[in-house]
Amino acid sequence: MSPNAFATLFFAAILLTTLARLALMRRQIRHVRERRGTVPEPFAETISLESHRKAADYTASRMGLGMLDVVVGTLFVLALTLGGGLQAIHAGLGAWLEPGTIPHGVALLAALGVLGWAVDLPFALWRTFVIEKRFGFNRMTPRLFLADLAREGLLAAVIGLPVLAAVLWLMGAMGERWWLWVWLFWIGFNLLALFVWPTFIAPLFNKFTPLADEALKARVERLLERCGFRAKGLYVMDGSRRSAHGNAYFTGFGAAKRIVFFDTLLEKLNADEVEAVLAHELGHFHHRHVWKRLAVSAAMSLAMLWLLGWLMQQGWFFAGLGAPAGGTAVALALFALVLPVFAFPLAPVMSHWSRVHEFEADAYAAHHTRADDLVSALVKLYRDNAATLTPDPLYSRIFDSHPPAVLRVARLREQGQ
């Protein structure tokens, strides 16, 4: 393939992908707004028209910002690739660091990370301090926002830079099969992160305290015993410091697994509903969804690294994307920039798989707790988190990791009967 042909192919792909995403997002906004005035029948008695309208407006606001984010992101990628931005950064850093060395490569990738952060920062600020505040969700102060940025930057430097250096060293030192060694290193790093994150990293951002409600704790422990599940501890996280949204999740790996409840979740749900939500999360472990996703992710990362290894030997890959100088760091940067464009067709496949997992976890919860309790919990979460009850079907099939509210509640009610 010639460089011009690949450049044309990439430009056509990013243009079509961007237009498709914008059209789907616009379709979502229109669909939600058209149904703003009527609460869907399954929720007519539990969610007020005012809450339904709030959810529609919240969805439209976030989607509108998302459309602008897509456009800016596309222009950013085009500027770095076909516009020659990456090559210019490569040449600029060459004045201080020798091109082709690990320090130069790490600096190049770090510079791209900082540029990407700078492009995303205005959207994060608007999302947090305008949209989330307008709809009553934001509890983040400017001081806490800046503190989070500082902590994230420090972690990126302390952890991210050595990881990049290790990857670049492996790419240069391990011969033609470097991609296999990088893959093994990446898998090991991610497994290590599963152990390290809950104990050392997460507490840097939030406070975790043991669940103090003895009655709820005893109830949760009985559920864990019925389901044959072990957890290292039950914790409450101060999610209310940043947002009014509620959630619960598992973290950790093996014997280090923890169950974490947002304090906002415990404020909104009663004990029956908390137990049902936890049973849903246990359903993911019972069906080994986490392991299945890790396996698929590992297989896909191996395939992607092999593909990168092949592309690094093709001159048209570099020249077609505006970076004829080549090199391992440049190849890694280009691949990270263009992969989301060509991987877009996988989005509906992965979303469908995730929704299947959610249905399976719901069925598990309905078996071990009352389905009506999970329905009641979901209704409260939909209402309090301003989640739309009327997503566009096509948009939902492509992007949504969870089933639409109407379908999910209907299936749970069938299982309850």
- SS3 annotation, 281-343: HHHHHHCCHHHHHHHHHHHHHHHHHHHHHHHCCCHHHHHHCCCCCCCHHHHHHHHHHHHHHHC
Q: Examine the domain organization and report whether 294 and 411 are in the same domain.
A: yes
Q: Total domain count for the chain?
A: 3
Q: Examine the domain organization and report whether 62 and 168 are in the same domain.
A: no
Task: Please check whether residue 48 lies inside any domain of the structure.
Answer: yes
Contacts of residue 63, defined as CB under 8 A and 6 or more positions apart, other chains included, come to 25, 28, 29, 32
* Residue 248: φ, ψ to 5°: -150, 150
pLDDT for 69:
97
% of the chain at pLDDT higher than 90: 69
Task: Please check whether residue 20 lies inside any domain of the structure.
Answer: yes
Looking at 267, 294, 310, which one is the last position of a domain? 267
Task: Please check whether residue 227 lies inside any domain of the structure.
Answer: yes
**Which carries the bigger pLDDT value, residue 232 or residue 387?**
387
Q: Examine the domain organization and report whether 246 and 234 are in the same domain.
A: yes
Q: Examine the domain organization and report whether 29 and 126 are in the same domain.
A: yes
> Considering only CA atoms, which of 291, 278, 43, 307 is closest in space to residue 179?
307
- 162-181 pLDDT, tens digit per residue, is 999 999 999 999 988 999 99
Beta bridge pairs of residue 235: 210, 260
Q: Examine the domain organization and report whether 173 and 189 are in the same domain.
A: yes
**Do the Cβ atoms of 163 and 189 come closer than 8 Å?**
yes
Contacts of residue 206, defined as CB under 8 A and 6 or more positions apart, other chains included, come to 237, 238, 239, 241
pLDDT at 267 over 90: no
Q: Examine the domain organization and report whether 92 and 113 are in the same domain.
A: yes
Q: Examine the domain organization and report whether 417 and 285 are in the same domain.
A: yes
The model's confidence at residue 124, banded by pLDDT at 50, 70 and 90, is very high
Task: Please check whether residue 366 lies inside any domain of the structure.
Answer: yes
Determine the average pLDDT of the residues in 75-82.
97
Q: Examine the domain organization and report whether 325 and 340 are in the same domain.
A: yes
Joined tokens for residue 255? 């014997």
Determine the average pLDDT of the residues in 241-262.
75
**Which of 103-117, 316-330, 338-352 has the least mean pLDDT?**
316-330
pLDDT for 252:
63
pTM confidence score? 0.90
Q: How far is CA 27 from the centre of its chain?
A: 22
The domain that holds 238 is classified in CATH as 3.30.2010.10
Q: How far is CA 48 from the centre of its chain?
A: 30
The model's confidence at residue 53, banded by pLDDT at 50, 70 and 90, is very high
User: Across all residues in the chain, what is the average pLDDT?
Assistant: 91
pLDDT for 160:
93
Range of the domain at 224: 206-267
Task: Please check whether residue 201 lies inside any domain of the structure.
Answer: no
Contacts of residue 323, defined as CB under 8 A and 6 or more positions apart, other chains included, come to 81, 84, 86, 87, 90, 330, 334
Task: Please check whether residue 117 lies inside any domain of the structure.
Answer: yes
- 333-347 pLDDT, tens digit per residue, is 999 999 999 999 999
**Which of 242-256, 283-297, 366-380 has the least mean pLDDT?**
242-256
% of the chain at pLDDT higher than 70: 99
Q: Examine the domain organization and report whether 293 and 373 are in the same domain.
A: yes
Task: Please check whether residue 62 lies inside any domain of the structure.
Answer: yes
Looking at 196, 223, 241, which one is the last position of a domain? 196
Count CA atoms within 13 Å of residue 92 on its CB side.
Answer: 10
pLDDT for 247:
75
Determine the average pLDDT of the residues in 128-146.
93
Looking at 247, 267, 287, which one is the last position of a domain? 267
Q: Examine the domain organization and report whether 4 and 107 are in the same domain.
A: yes
Q: Examine the domain organization and report whether 177 and 248 are in the same domain.
A: no
Give the number of residues written for the chain. 417
Distance separating alpha carbons of residues 317 and 395, to the nearest angstrom: 32
pLDDT for 197:
82
Cite the active site residues. 281, 362
User: Helical H runs in 140-177?
Assistant: 142-155, 161-173
Q: Examine the domain organization and report whether 301 and 392 are in the same domain.
A: yes
Task: Please check whether residue 34 lies inside any domain of the structure.
Answer: yes
